[in-house]
Amino acid sequence: MADEYIPLNFLEQIVEEDLANGMPREQLRFRFPPEPNGYLHIGHTKAIGISFGLGEKYNAPVNLRFDDTNPIKEEAEYVEAIKKDIKWLGYAWDKELYASDYFQQLYDWAIQLIKDGYAYVDSQSSEQIAEQKGTPTQAGTNSPYRNRSIEENLDLFTRMKNGEFEAGTHVLRAKIDMADPNMLMRDPIMYRVLYAHHHRTGDDWCIYPMYDWTHGESDYIEQISHSLCSLEFKPHRKLYNWFRDHVFEYGKSELPLPPKQREFARLNLSYTIMSKRKLLKLVDKEIVSGWDDPRMPTISGLRRRGYTPAALRKFVDTAGVAKRDNVIDVSLLEFCIREDLNKTTNRVMAVLNPVKLVIDNYPENEEEWLETENNPEDESAGTRSIPFSRELYIEREDFREEANRKFFRLTLNKEVRLKGAYIIKGESVVKDEEGNITEIHCTYDP
């Protein structure tokens, strides 16, 4: 029988088109770039699955890069938790990297942009900069510092790096176009002064690069072929390309591959909050016991709840890759874990609300061991022995003294089979003073 044909999703089509247009297969490289400011949640499984899935499909390396440019929110604990979750899901990264690895290179390129007239130091407050940004329908206003000389910009930026200014007094901005319809292109901030201890670089830096400046250039340094991110970053693509194209001119002799950004719809799950800010609030206020509380939608929480890697990966595959945001019903996630556990998990028996069952015609003080299958879906799981005797316990809701024809469990004067054992027939009941059934008497067919 021929293998089942599975159509390519639109990201795979992009990769196939690039290969068809001459990109060498060995240039394919992907990345998963989490910010270490919290634990991964169910929504991240899609981004993980897409990047690592493409890596598996094309036998291409996938980097794990931590976007650690905000020392105020980031902790080494989150780094280790993220690595643990990715490994648990069954994925293996090629290189473990950090945006902070590139702080010096990013700084050097920023200096070059200043020298080429593409960046300047702005000495306005954040409120003033925001006021000048304009609106989607109204052009922004140029900063009064936009035309500072290259020499003054270099001097100020160097002094920013050397710690001579207070936080909030100066920022480095890209000089693009304050009238661009895309507001992200209106002279975005590249660096801000921030005095905070970094979990890796310590106190070596007091200026930190912003996301849009760091993200694409990290992709370029690592020679990522396809930078895949969720739809909210689609408006950022124009800025991603602007930075990339300018930096490419500085590094193309050693870094010949300019990366491309493409976007996919993020995974939204019904009845589920996936904002890390809101999840952090639950942890900080001790509403939950921690990030791995079984009630949390984090990967570690789902793991404690009993979810398996296979179920989560199946869920991501079934949800698919789309270009438009939508909400996936949580029932699909529950279906995937049921399907996986049904095939892989050994069965056990438990009685939560017991009532005594007495088999009157079974010999007293006798016990036998019956064989029952561990998993009816998996013959290789073998069997186990369960004890059988005159007195047993069943679920109280599995018996009715009076029942209609649609009740197929135990009742008086009707026969049922005990799982893995004999057929029994309800004969009588014993009740306490309040009328509650304390014993069910029956007979069995040997």
> Nearest to residue 390, comparing CAs of 347, 432, 446?
446
Amino acid at 331: S
Tell me the β-bridge partners of 303. none
Annotated active-site residue in 266, 303, 313, 314: 266
The reply to whether 303 belongs to the active site is no
Q: Who contacts 136 (Cβ-Cβ below 8 Å, separation ≥6)? A: 181, 183
First vs last Cα of the chain: how many Å apart?
48
| Secondary structure, 3-state, the chain | CCCCCCCCCHHHHHHHHHHHCCCCHHHCCEEECCCCCCCCECCHHHHHHHHHHHHHHHCCCEEEEECCCCCCCCCHHHHHHHHHHHHHHCCCCCCEEEHHHHHHHHHHHHHHHHHCCCEEEECCCHHHHHHCCCECCECCCCCCCCCCCHHHHHHHHHHHHCCCCCCCCCEEEECCCCCCCCHHHCCCEEEEECCCCECCCECCCCEEECHHHHHHHHHHHCCCCEEEEEHHHHHHHHHHHHHHHHHHHHHCCCCCCCCEEEEECCEEECCCCCCHHHHHHHHHCCCCCCCCCCCCCEHHHHHHHCCCHHHHHHHHHHHCCCCCCEEECHHHHHHHHHHHHHHHCCCCCCCCCEEEEEECCCCCCCEEEEEEECCCCCHHHCEEEEEEECEEEEEHHHEECCCCCCCCCEEECCEEECCCCCEEEEEEEEECCCCCEEEEEEEECC
Annotated active-site residue in 65, 161, 237, 276: 276
Annotated active-site residue in 35, 56, 339, 395: 35
The reply to whether 249 belongs to the active site is no
Look up tokens 């529950």; give the residue: 334
The reply to whether 35 belongs to the active site is yes
- Positions marked active-site: 35, 266, 276
